[in-house]
Amino acid sequence: MFDSIFSFLFKYRPAVFAHGRLGFEPPIPPVVLVVGVTILLAGVLVTYRSTRGRIGRRYFFTLTGLRTALLALLLLALLRPVVVVSTVIPQENILAIVLDDSKSMQLADQGDAPRSSLVSRTFSSEEAGLLHDLSERFTLRFFRFGTDVARHDRAQPLRFGETRTNLGAALAGVRRELTGVPLAGVVVVTDGADNVADNLAESVLRYQSDGVPIYTVGVGREVLPRDIELSRVEAPHQVLKGSSVMVDVMLTQSGFRGERVTLNVEDGGRIVNSQEVRLAGDREATVVRVKLTAAEAGARLFRFHVPPQPGELISENNARDVMISVEDRREKILYFEGEPRFEVKFIRRALEDDQNIQVVTLQRTAENKYLRLGVDDPDELVAGFPATREELFAYRGIILGSVEASYFTHSQLVLLEEFVGQRGGGLLVLGGRRAFGEGGYAGTPLEAVLPVVLPRTADAEFFSEVAVGPTPAGLVHPVTRLADDGTQSRERWTGLPRVSLLNPISQSKPGASTLLTGRSDASSESYVVLAFQRYGKGKAIAFTPQDSWLWQMHADVPLDDMTHETFWRQMLRWLVSNVTDLVTVATPTEQVEPGETITITADVRDSSYLGVNGAKVTASVTDALGTETDYPMEWTVTEDGVYRTSLPTELAGRYDVRVLARRGDAVLGEGHAALRAEPQPTEFFSPAMRADLLKDVAAQTGGRFYTEATLGGLAEDVRYTESGMTRLESHDLWDSPVLFLALLAIVSLEWLLRRRRGLA
C-alpha cells in the first residue's frame, strides 16, 4: 500500500529514488529564473505592505510567507527537477531466479495451500504475470536449491524434498555459474529457514562488492500458529561411566503460552527421565535441566521429546537425539600434597568406590620424605614430583595441595602451565598455608593459570571461618549441584558446617566463573571458595578451603550424608572431563543424512603431547551392517598432528569409527567416535519465514524484500540497478502530483485568509 501511495504522489516507485539521484535540468539559465522570481517576490511584499494596517502584523507575515512559498515552488518547477537512475537495457542482462526446493516449502502454514504453491503459481509460466514482465526485460535463468544449488529445468516440477536449506551455498553457486555474464540481479524465493548458516555472510558480501542486488521473496508465516520445538539440546560429548550428566534442553513455542507439557528422555527406547515443563511466552525460550545417569558404557543415544500437542502444526520438531559417549575407563589423577593433612584422607576416602577415577597420591611427609599411594608400579613417582612432560602428561588431572611454589623448579612450574594449556589437562589447586599467595605463587608461571587473583603480599596469619554458598552459576554446575532441584541444592549447601580459609582470596579473574563463595560471620567479608577458568586447552580450578573434610566429619552432618563424597566425586570427574587423549577423533556433527560424506579429523599426539606428523593413521569404520572398512587418513600439512579423511555414508544407521595411529611398529594411540546416518527433520526446525534475514540480505546488496502481497512491484524495481548492461535515464519530477497538490494547497490557504480579512 505504501508503494502505491508513493507511486501516485511521486510518479515513480521508491526503487527509482533509492537507486537514483536528484538533479535539475532547467530549460533557461537559472539566473534568469531567480532574478524573475525575486522581482515577483518584491512586488508581493510591496503589495501586502500597503495592506498591513488593515490586516495586522500576523496576517501580514502569514500571507507574505504563503506567497513566497508559492513562488518558491514555481521556481522549483521551472528549474525542472529530475531523478537520474541507472536502468537495465532490455534483453541485454540476465536475471537469476533461485527457487527454494527444500522440505520446509511443503508446510501449509497459511490456510490449506503449502508454501510451494506461490512458486507454482508465480514462477512456472512466462506467458503471463510476473515472469512475463520480467522476461520482457531480462533473460531469465532458473535455479533450484536446498543442500546445494543446480540449474532448474522448468519442464521438471520442483519436488520440495531437499533436507537442508543452504542459502549461502546457493547464492555462491549462482554467482559462480553466472560469472562473466551481465547479471542484473538475483531473485531468491524462499522461506529463509537457512539451517546451514555458516557461509551466508560471505556469499552476501561477494554480491555486495560486485554490486549485484539480491531481491528476496519471503514465503510462509513469520510466526507459526501453534508449534512446540526442541530448539537445542546441550549435553557433554563424553562422560565417565556412572557420572551424573546434566543436559540443558531448550524449548521454544508459539500458541502454547503458559501451558504444561511433558519432556521425556529415552535411552535405547526406555524412558529414563520424565519432567513436566511449564512453557514461557510465545517465541521465548524455556530451558529445562535434565539429569541423566550414564550407567552403561559405549556410545549412548538419548532421545529427548515432547509428545505432539493438539492442534500443533509440526510434530517432527518435537524430538532431538543426542549421542553421548560413556567411557568406562579409569582416569588417572595425581594429587601432590605438600604436608600431611586430613584433606588427603577424606578425598581418597570419597573416591575409593569410584571405579573410574584413580587418585595417585604423592604426599610429602617430611623434608625429602614422601608417601606414595595408589601408584601402578613401584617406580611410579619414586623420584618425587614429575619433572618431564612424558611423566606429568601421563596424568589427566593434577591436584596441588598445600605445597609452596619454591618446592618446584622453574621448569616444573612451566610444565604445570603446559599441562593445562597445551596438554589440555585439568588442574585443581587446594587452599592451605602453603598454597596460593601464601605459598609464593604470585609471579610464577602458575599465576596466569589460576582462576583467582592472588594478593600481592602473603598473609601467613590469615584465618577465616566461612559459611559456603553457591552462586547462581554454582546452583546449576555439575560439580556443585547437590540436588535435582535448585532450591534443595542451595539448602544443602547452606546447611553444611563452616570451613576455614588460610588464603584471603576475594576475587576471581574476569574470565573465570565463581561457583561457591564463603561469607565470614566475624568480618562479613566474602571470599572465593570455588572458581574455575578455561586455560588453553585445559581448565584450572581453585578450591580455597583447607578442611572440606568437615563436611564429612562434623557433628552436624548425619552419618549417612553423602554430600562430601558427592561433591568430590563430581569435582574430580569434572576435572578430567574433556581432557584430550593421545589420539582425539572428531566429526563436524554426530548426525548426517544418508548419502552425505562427512570429514573425520584425528589429532595425534606423542607422549609429550606434541603433534606427530608423518604417522600412519587409519580410520577403521564399522557400518550398521557390521562391515568394517579402513580409510587412510592424510596429514593436513597445515596443522601439526592433524589428519583427515572423508567417510561416505551410503547406508543409514550407526557408524563406529576407530582411529589407530602408528609410527613404525609402535602404536601411538587409539581414538573412537560414533555417528549416525539417518534422515533428519532438519527442515522442520525453525521453519518460520525469516523475514529479518531476508530483509537484511536484500538491504546489504541493494535489493529489496517482498512478500506475496507486494510481489507485484518486483518487475518494475528490478529495472533500476547499476549491475549488468545499463543506461542512465532522466525522469521529470516537475509534473509530480505532489508538487501540484502542494501548489493547490498554498493557493487555497492564501485565498481563504485573504477572504477572511476582506482582501478577496
Partner 1 sequence: MLQRLAPSPIRILVLRGRAMVALLSIWTVSSGVAQTGGGSPDDPAAIDRHTRGRAFYFTRAVYTDVERRGRFGWWSVDYPKADRQFLMGLTRLTGIDAHHSENPVRLDDPELRRYPLVYAVEVGHMALTEAERTGLRNYLLAGGILLVDDFWGSWEWANFQSEMAQVLPGYPIVDLPADHPLLHVFYDLAEIVQVPNVGLGRAGGRTWEKDGYTPALRGIFDGHGRLLVVINWNSDLGDAWEWAEDPSYPIRFSNFAYQLGVNVIVYAMSH
Binding residues vs partner 1 (CB under 8 A): 338-342, 344-346, 348-349, 352, 361, 363-367, 369, 371, 373, 433, 461-463, 465, 500, 502, 521-522, 546, 549-550, 552-557, 559
Minimum CB–partner distance for residue 499 and partner 1 (Å): 10
Neighbours of 390 (CB within 10 A): 11
Minimum CB–partner distance for residue 369 and partner 1 (Å): 7
CB of 639 closer than 8 Å to CB of 625: no
Q: Give the nearer residue to partner 1 in terms of CB position, either 155 or 522.
A: 522
By DSSP bridging, strand 705-706 and strand 21-24 are unpaired
3-state secondary structure of 704: coil
Determine the Cα–Cα distance for residues 458 and 432; give it in Å rounded to an integer. Answer: 12
Minimum CB–partner distance for residue 553 and partner 1 (Å): 5
Q: Please enumerate in sequence order all residues whose Cβ is within 8 A of that of 132, keeping only pairs 6 or more positions apart, or say none.
A: 125, 126
Cα–chain-centroid distance for residue 666? 41
CB of 251 closer than 8 Å to CB of 231: yes
Minimum CB–partner distance for residue 675 and partner 1 (Å): 42
The dihedral formed by the CA atoms of 61, 65, 66 and 72, expressed in degrees to the nearest 10: 160
The dihedral formed by the CA atoms of 313, 161, 594 and 617, expressed in degrees to the nearest 10: -110
CA distances from 433 to 501, 503, 547 (A): 9, 7, 12
Q: Give the nearer residue to partner 1 in terms of CB position, either 114 or 437.
A: 437
Q: Give the nearer residue to partner 1 in terms of CB position, either 422 or 464.
A: 464
Q: Give the nearer residue to partner 1 in terms of CB position, either 372 or 492.
A: 372
Q: Give the nearer residue to partner 1 in terms of CB position, either 464 or 584.
A: 464
Minimum CB–partner distance for residue 241 and partner 1 (Å): 21
Determine the Cα–Cα distance for residues 130 and 121; give it in Å rounded to an integer. Answer: 10
Q: Give the nearer residue to partner 1 in terms of CB position, either 147 or 402.
A: 402
The position carrying cell 563424553 is 238
Minimum CB–partner distance for residue 340 and partner 1 (Å): 4
Minimum CB–partner distance for residue 657 and partner 1 (Å): 40
By DSSP bridging, strand 138-145 and strand 149-151 are antiparallel
Minimum CB–partner distance for residue 629 and partner 1 (Å): 48
Minimum CB–partner distance for residue 551 and partner 1 (Å): 11
Q: Give the nearer residue to partner 1 in terms of CB position, either 272 or 467.
A: 467
Q: Give the nearer residue to partner 1 in terms of CB position, either 136 or 521.
A: 521
**304 phi and psi, to 5 degrees?**
-105, 125
Nearest to 129 by CA among 519, 745, 712: 712
Give the long-range contacts of residues 406-409, CB within 8 A, separation 24 or more. 406/440, 407/338, 407/364
Q: Give the nearer residue to partner 1 in terms of CB position, either 521 or 732.
A: 521
Nearest to 452 by CA among 461, 462, 442: 442
Minimum CB–partner distance for residue 349 and partner 1 (Å): 7
Determine the Cα–Cα distance for residues 361 and 370; give it in Å rounded to an integer. Answer: 10
Q: Give the nearer residue to partner 1 in terms of CB position, either 502 or 505.
A: 502
Q: Give the nearer residue to partner 1 in terms of CB position, either 335 or 395.
A: 335
Cα torsion angle, 449, 452, 453, 455, sign: negative
Q: Give the nearer residue to partner 1 in terms of CB position, either 375 or 753.
A: 375
Minimum CB–partner distance for residue 380 and partner 1 (Å): 17
Buried b (16+ CB within 10 A) or exposed e, 349-382: ebbeebebbbbbbbbbeeeeebeeebeeeeebbe
Nearest to 237 by CA among 323, 329, 296, 295: 323
- CA angle in degrees (0–180, nearest 5) for 170-176-181: 120
Minimum CB–partner distance for residue 473 and partner 1 (Å): 29
Buried b (16+ CB within 10 A) or exposed e, 416-427: bbbbbbbbbbbb
Minimum CB–partner distance for residue 368 and partner 1 (Å): 10
N-terminal to C-terminal alpha carbon distance within the chain = 40
Minimum CB–partner distance for residue 343 and partner 1 (Å): 9
If you compute the radius of gyration of the chain from its CA atoms, what whole number of angstroms results? 37
Q: Give the nearer residue to partner 1 in terms of CB position, either 442 or 550.
A: 550
Q: Give the nearer residue to partner 1 in terms of CB position, either 304 or 551.
A: 551
Q: Give the nearer residue to partner 1 in terms of CB position, either 337 or 623.
A: 337
3-state secondary structure of 252: strand
Strand arrangement, sheet containing 357-366: 369-373, 357-366, 331-337, 397-400, 426-430, 538-543, 526-535, 513-520, 464-470, 499-501
Minimum CB–partner distance for residue 371 and partner 1 (Å): 6
Buried b (16+ CB within 10 A) or exposed e, 633-664: bebeeeeebbbebebebeeeebbbbbbbbeee
